[in-house]
Amino acid sequence: MLPRIWYSPAYDLEWDGHVFPAGKYRATRDRLLADGVIAAADLGKSELLDRGSLLCGHTVDYLDRLEAMTATPQLGYYEFEAPCSRRVLDGFYAMAGGTLAACRAALERTEPGCVGFAANLGGGFHHAFPWKGEGFCAINDIVVAIRVLLTEGAIERAAVVDLDVHQGNGTAKAFEDEERVFTMSMHQQNNYPVKQRSDLDVGLPDKCEDARYLDELARALPVVQEAQPDLVLYVAGADPFHRDQLGGLSLTLDGMAGRDARVYEAFLGGGVPVVGTLAGGYSADEKDVVEIHYRMVREGLEASAAIGR
């Protein structure tokens, strides 16, 4: 049986001093292991995804351009606002591999009395378009994983529940004409990026607090359920948190945990496997980001176990 949680040391991007806290990946893994939430046997090592699979979500020209950037890493700043060294690109390939592996694990564990939850301790790079990178995102692991699974026939329909503070514009654009994939994004309206059209967009006002946020989510999730997905990709960004440097919403830690619980209740509770990805999170204190990611994974594992009992 496949492990439920996926990670690789390749996730530790060479982005020292960047607003994106790449150290959060290792720190989240370490916290889950230290607290006994997962054991070593629960943790799978993500492998770099092969080019054929990457081409399910990106164009040949774009993948070639990324490879060429590794010779001059600073060129990445013109493309997706972060350097693109060989190590960085391999990190993105590994995180794409982790998201796909987590999807396979969640689907494998779905049977009578057991509903699959799995997580990639990385990924969620929803700003990358098929033909370009954007917003710290070089490879859209969500799009790649869903496209691979659809091509294989492993699923017939999928849904993306994107609760990062920023709209999942690259994901929305990639699937705008794909009837088998329902995209939902609930985000701060007056914030980056230039918006694309998801199947369901919920733009929230600045400084939106827990109660309003959770009410809006409660109205949105049944719409996603109506799409009857075989698998849900949960983009669980930590940046709706009130101390986030790049976000303008005002959720507390309890509000963030309530968000996760509602997603799991809606889908795991209805027999639909869920895969969590970490996406964004930019609090000045990395411990805030790690705490939010840690809770997302822990609650998903607990919800899955409770349903199986």
Q: How is residue 267 written in tokens?
A: 């889908």
Instruction: Considering the candidates 18, 58, 126, 127, report the single residue annotated as catalytic.
Output: 127
Neighbours of 3 (CB within 10 A): 18
Which of 154, 198, 147, 149 minimizes the C-alpha distance to 172? Answer: 198
* Other residues' Cβ atoms within 10 Å of the Cβ of residue 219: 11
Pairing of strands 43-45, 5-7: parallel
Write out the DSSP string of 207-275: T--HHHHHHHHHHHHHHHHTT--SEEEEE--STTBTTBSS----B-HHHHHHHHHHHHHHHGGGT--EE
How many other CB atoms are found less than 10 A from the CB of residue 13? Answer: 25
Q: Could you tell me the two tokens for 283?
A: 């609090």
Q: Answer yes or no: 126 catalytic.
A: no
Catalytic residue set: 127
